[in-house]
Structure 1
């Protein structure tokens, strides 16, 4: 995810950025279901709503075509971080 942010600033349309973009899309696809399930189980309504909206946004960004490569990389990095936070066992600690 940190690499995506660097590439967004330096070479958002390059081959390396495309590879990172696809990897981030894969993370979103792989963990979004678990992240959504965990978010639905949160007791705090505000946190639950934020997490559910974050999962939905991450899925939408992963499915969107790339119009602005830099912005897309940044949004994918943030979305992947969020779904990994809620979707991976133990949550948290994702960079």
Structure 2
């Protein structure tokens, strides 16, 4: 059974480029935000770093869905399954 968060739909055969997601990794003391950005599937992302005002503008312009900590953890478990063959392994 896939571990997809309830309101983050799994990737389907149709890739929807209108759905955008952000997952904050760290809000740094120097005013920058480290985050993952996804288009269409929250499991496929790029890591970005922006100053907080730029990050906020970026999210607004992309109408990004902010993933919760629980949703992020579910994505991490799914990645571990693919990387190591079963969820929960760290080596």
Give the structure with the larger helix fraction.
1
TM-score (norm 2): 0.23
Relative CO higher for 1 or 2, CA cutoff 8 Å, sep ≥ 6?
A: 1
Q: Higher Cα Rg: structure 1 or 2?
A: 2
TM-score (norm 1): 0.22
